[in-house]
Amino acid sequence: MSSVQLWTLVFVVLSFGLYIYIAYASRVNTTAGFYVAGGGIPAPANGAAIAADWMSAASFISMAGIIALSGNGYGASVYLMGWTGGYVLLAMLLAPYLRKFGKYTVPDFVGDRYSESARLIAVVCAIVVSFVYVAGQMSGVGVVFQRFLGVDTTVGVIIGMVIVFLYAVLGGMKGITWTQVAQYSVLIVAYLIPAVAISQKLTGIPVPQIGFGQIMDELNGLQADLGFAEYTAAFTSTNMLNMLLITAALMFGTAGLPHVIVRFYTAKSVRAARFSALWALFFISLLYLTAPAIGAFSKLNILRQLPGTEEASAPAWYQSWKEVGLIEFTDKNGDGLINFTAATDAANELLINNDIVVLATPEIAGLPAPIVGLVAAGGLAAALSTASGLLLVISSSVANDVYYKRINPQATEARQLLVGRIAMGGAIVVAGYLGINPPGFVAQVVALAFGLGAASFFPILVLGIFWKKCTAAGATAGMIAGLGTTLAYQLWTIDIYGGSDGLFGINETAFGTIGMLINFAVTITVSQFTTKPTEAMQQLVEDIRYPGRSELVAAHAAGELDDDLLHGEHRDGEHS
């Protein structure tokens, strides 16, 4: 066992042991504890858990890789702008009002605000979005295990499945929340330490955000020498239309992701939910303000070390990542040199997977083995924290919104918890399969999920809060139209399924914005011609937008309002 593998194993065993201990200590036996941690998580801890839940393997493992390897750093800034901007949108526009409405899940809000038919469509949307998203997380787990512990990707994913199963099934949302606080601590330390060390080594300045600016002239020059556009040049790898649409899709998708929204139900109050958002923004900013520096440092080191080098004398990190198939070299001209040039696509002999950049950064920079092992543990923490949140969304959607609300309303809490845990186990098995057979690299798969979230949930959540006359039929039709068109377009254009150019050159990630606009249009149009919500529902929607709690909001949160009052005597053709 190499020193890197030894230190990785040490950090992985210690961190995994901590996660399982926390889950055991936080185990629950109530549905409120399983779904929303009893609504009792302090704001700073909830903010850290939100950050860990939201900053997935895409943020930790893949985002800096996209920034470094997408041709230039400017084009990849859509991920920085879209994901962070979307979180601000979620925190300001949706989270406090959804928390005030007082439901466990996004489908629960949709069902209570609109109808039971809309709830079922929302369940389908939540499951589709969550499974697409979780595929990227489990794929990231496999990458880390494959490279740093020398195990097969399949075995690595299975290990990740077992760990998530243990702490998610034991503790539910309560266990997941406190585990995610620990996972955030691991991942942010693992991200910042190498960034500071590399900045000091390259520039003599230990602040990555400042060191980043010091290397730009050299990086731009190296790119120009190889025939690439300058690293800081605009609209070279992504045109303006796609830049705008991708940023919007990621932004509105973030505000529509069910596993992030449910986090605000774990806060003690609406006020605590707002402060949770503030803490989360601070915790998220620590990583997101560092990612561009990591990407630039890695790109600089790669361009210094590889182009024009004989493959036989390439650095050890190159050989290690090539062995696991995440670096590919084809000696097209037979000269034995690594030719990395933008002159023509055919001339390029080197293909580096985006997912290795952050994980390989310490090795590329020649940092010691303990830091390499710590980064590996950080990557696992990022992937597993988001995977657990997504799996809980799937579990709660099946157990609460389908089984309890539709199949067996008389089910005891013990029965509901059993169904929830069984659904969690089944979801983990499916997630593992998707992690072993992902439809793309980590951030690409995750970006597809954001597009689906924008197209399905964001319009009906916004209209459900801010337009009291939005109808159940409108919301149902809008979700079907938005999710259906976006999913169909993604399957049509994604590379693995043929890679069509699509319409007007709009790529699969960007189409989420179009799907969202379709959803808005269909929902608003259908709502004009269908039965309006009851006066009580319209008054409730009006009341949740204002500070304080009216008697109507308080009664609704306590479950004291008669369903006939909110939805009329007949709901979806059945008496309530």
Q: What pLDDT shows up at residue 575?
A: 36
Q: What pLDDT shows up at residue 573?
A: 43
Question: pLDDT tens, position by position, for the chain (576 residues)?
Answer: 678 788 888 888 888 888 888 877 776 666 665 655 555 677 888 888 888 877 777 677 777 777 777 666 677 778 788 878 887 887 778 877 877 777 667 788 888 888 888 888 888 888 887 777 777 778 778 878 877 777 788 888 888 888 877 766 766 667 777 888 888 888 899 889 989 999 998 899 999 989 888 998 888 888 888 777 788 877 766 778 888 888 898 889 887 777 777 777 666 676 777 788 888 888 988 988 898 888 888 888 888 888 888 888 888 888 888 887 778 888 777 777 887 765 455 567 778 877 777 888 888 888 888 888 888 888 888 777 777 777 777 887 788 778 887 788 888 877 887 888 888 888 888 888 877 876 555 556 667 778 888 898 899 999 999 999 999 999 999 999 998 998 888 877 765 545 566 677 787 788 889 999 999 999 999 999 998 988 888 888 888 887 666 777 777 666 667 666 677 654 554 433
Q: What pLDDT shows up at residue 108?
A: 80
Q: What is the pTM of this model?
A: 0.78
Q: What pLDDT shows up at residue 406?
A: 78
CA distance 119 to 125: 10
CATH architecture of the domain covering 3-298+367-533: Up-down Bundle (1.20)
CA distance 28 to 30: 6
Angle at 231 between CA 230 and CA 234, to 5 degrees: 80
Q: What pLDDT shows up at residue 558?
A: 64
Please choose, from the candidates 398, 558, 400, the residue with its C-alpha nearest in 3D space to the C-alpha of residue 30. Answer: 400
Question: Helices (H) and strands (E) in the chain — how many of each?
Answer: 27, 4
Q: What pLDDT shows up at residue 131?
A: 79
Tell me the Ramachandran region of residue 334: left when phi exceeds 0, alpha when psi lies from -120 to 50, beta otherwise. left
Q: What pLDDT shows up at residue 103?
A: 65
Rg (alpha carbons) of the chain, rounded to whole number: 24
Burial of 335 (0-12, 13-18, 19+ CB in 10 A): exposed
Where exactly are the structural domains of the chain? 3-298+367-533
Q: Which residue has the tokens 């060390």?
A: 197
Q: Which residue has the tokens 């973030």?
A: 254
542-545 long-range CB contacts below 8 Å, 24 or more apart?
Answer: 542/468, 544/97, 544/100, 544/101, 544/465, 545/97, 545/465, 545/466
